[in-house]
Chain A
Amino acid sequence: MSQSIDYNTLVYEERVHSRCYIDPDIFNEEMEKIFHQGWVYVGHASEVPENGDYKTTTIGLQPVIMSRGQDGKIRVLMNRCKHRGPTVCQFQKGNAKFFRCAYHGWTYKNSGELIGVPFPKGYGDDFNKVEYGLDEAAVTGEYRGLIFASLSENAMPFEEYLPEPVRKYIDNFFNLSPLGEIDVRRGVLKTDVNANWKHQLENGSADGYHPHFTHENWMNLIAERLGSARKMGVWEDGGPDSGERQRYLGGPAHCTIDYLEKRKRRAEREGLKIPTQLEQSILAVMPHPDTKGDGSKAWEVYPEMSDEAIERYIADMVQAHGEERAKELLASGGSHMSIFPNLQITPLSIRVLRPVAVNKTDVEVYIPWFKGVPDEFNIHRMRGGEGFFGLSAWGGQEDYEMFERIQEGMEAQKNPWTLLTRGMNRQGIDSDGLMEAGITDELCIRKIWEYWLKVMSGEKEVQDCGKISSEEVARS
């Protein structure tokens, strides 16, 4: 790998060089410094509810198994036999007491412990199986079932990685469940995007500028369904006075879009009651085409939500969280946030970024169910998620198309710089001391690059995780 990349000449506060998105050497260094040495989201505990449940995924480019052992503990294990290196688990998810390498029969417990080596005499008397269990991530951290891991023992403390302001916005999402719990094992939509992973990172961090244009088709459709009186109201500049904010939440480069103030104001202005708020929050702005009640919608696709069920849900929320907090949660409708580098939570979804190559990224979209919420609400959310993120739908495909266009356009090198100045003239500090700007501004994108530059240039202390060299990463 080239040691000669001078990152300080590629990233400035107001612009970034396109090389950061298209240079394979930079991608390989990113995998090493950000994904293999930093904290990365791996999965949610509800994906492996029973002992023996597992899912396979990657940390950067490295294959891992998130496995719940017979002791009930969730571990992040490297999916690699300690003998000669084959993966020991071949499926995306499942349940297994043991992982057995098919090459020479080495067998591991689902906790990673090596328990079987065929013909062990060939290794001599001093061979100690304890030393050859599946490698584990160096550290793991968990918040509300969200499981993060780092392959480096020198990663920053988990509390520093996921500081309090971030947790508050995570809570806003989880607490839409009166039980405070979500179920992420409800299927996942995976898309193969031919673009660099950072396009989705930037887009999902707090880019409230693009929906007006990228998603115009979808937004017109929603406006048509809701009727003009209740348009989504996003055809606005989103300046500091709009009541919608993007906030930088600290940690490495976490950020959020906060709609709460705007939704509260609208509720006051238009006299909306909580059930109406529900449509734009927990039900996540995907009304069925037939909301006008001619009775022709298929109940099978969109089950009826009775007033009784809505009232019951609100009562449960009030009981669980208190009236003030329940109202706030319902008005805010969850969270829209980005947890660096690879987790994004939107009112509908949990989105996971999995870089594959400099111009290839897998984007995974989960639509969690809220526990203790009437099934028909969750089914609505699921159908809404399909309508936005699914195949032949609108939102997801529209974003991915833009990412691929960026990847193509960045080859034009006459002027290789992107422009990130939006909102520099109106950003500030909020009452909690967090940096904030308007929803259509680019504050959060600038903060992401500020952190990226620190890590990539080595200004921020990062340690070699000691397991794999950059050259090996490049070859893999």
Chain B
Amino acid sequence: MTIVSRLLNVGDEEMIALQAKATAFLAKENQLLDAFRYDDWVNLWAMDGIYWLPVERGDDPREMLSHIYEDIHRIKDRVKTSQKEIAYPQEPRSETSRHTSNIIITDLGEDSVTVYSSFCVVEYRKRKQSIYAGHFEHVLTTGDGRLEEMRIRKKTVYLMGSNYPVGNISFIL
């Protein structure tokens, strides 16, 4: 904690407060997705939000294909269509239990904080349990400093095995 604080030029206490907020934010996000509250999840996003799931770490999405590279419009489209009865890959829908840990602040911007974490999403659908694991990098706007004002400006999902054949991930990671 101290080392990161020094690097980012903030005091330990401020750092701890930020980390606590980021942790609470990520837990909230997990809970909304586990509870299928997609419209509430969309409201966690900033209007300039970008959601990215690269095929390989280090890829430039302007140069290389991604699994997902979306702005807020396409995120909304996905949420809208995935809730329809004709969303067959989600008929029946996947139940998920999401676990995010090792949450650390890696960068501070003027109005944002970058948060790196480990995730494990356990999915159950049609008698099959699957585990998806990897790392998240969230860039969260800090707003006026209140947790409920924080928004996702960028969410990057580094999924283990994303450059090998992956299964039916038709739910949101």
Q: Chain A: residues with CB nearer than 8 A to chain B? A: 92, 186-192, 214, 216-218, 220-221, 288-290, 296-298, 300-302, 362-364, 366-367, 375, 379, 382-383, 385-387, 390-394, 397-398, 400-402, 404
Contact = CB atoms under 8 A, between A and B. Distances in A.
Interface residues of B, number: 42
The 4 closest A-B pairs by CB, nearest first: A187-B65, A298-B71, A192-B165, A289-B73
A217 B55 contact: no
A386 B69 CA distance: 8
A190 B165 CA distance: 4
A379 B65 contact: no
A401 B170 CA distance: 10
20 contacts: A186-B63, A186-B64, A186-B65, A216-B86, A217-B81, A289-B77, A298-B71, A300-B50, A300-B71, A301-B50, A362-B165, A363-B165, A367-B65, A379-B62, A391-B173, A392-B78, A392-B82, A392-B170, A393-B68, A393-B78
A188 B165 CA distance: 10
Contacts of A296: 47, 73
Contacts of A217: 81, 84, 86-88
Nearest to B47: A296
A393 B164 CA distance: 18
Contacts of B47: 296
Interface of B: 47-48, 50, 53, 55-56, 59, 62-74, 76-78, 81-82, 84, 86-89, 91, 163-173
B73 A297 contact: yes
Contact of A187 (B64, B76, B173): B64
Contacts of B88: 214, 217, 398, 401-402
B65 A397 contact: no
Contact of A301 (B71, B77, B169, B170): B71
Nearest to B82: A392
A318 to B, nearest CB: 28
Contacts of B64: 186-187
Given A190-B163, A192-B166, A392-B170, A288 B73 contact: yes
A220 B84 CA distance: 11
A297 B50 CA distance: 11
Contact of A392 (B72, B84, B86, B169): B169
A187 B59 contact: yes
A300 B172 CA distance: 22
B67 A386 contact: yes
B74 A187 contact: no
A302 B62 CA distance: 10
A191 B165 contact: yes
Nearest to B157: A391
A188 B78 CA distance: 21
A124 to B, nearest CB: 43
Contacts of A186: 63-65
Contacts of B89: 397-398, 400-401
Contacts of B71: 297-298, 300-302
A263 to B, nearest CB: 26
Nearest to A290: B73
Given A364-B165, A402-B88, 14 more contacts: A187-B65, A218-B81, A289-B77, A300-B50, A301-B69, A301-B70, A367-B65, A375-B62, A391-B170, A392-B68, A392-B82, A400-B168, A401-B88, A401-B89
Contacts of B74: 288-289, 301, 387
Nearest to A296: B47
A386 B64 CA distance: 11
Most buried by A among B67, B76, B87: B67
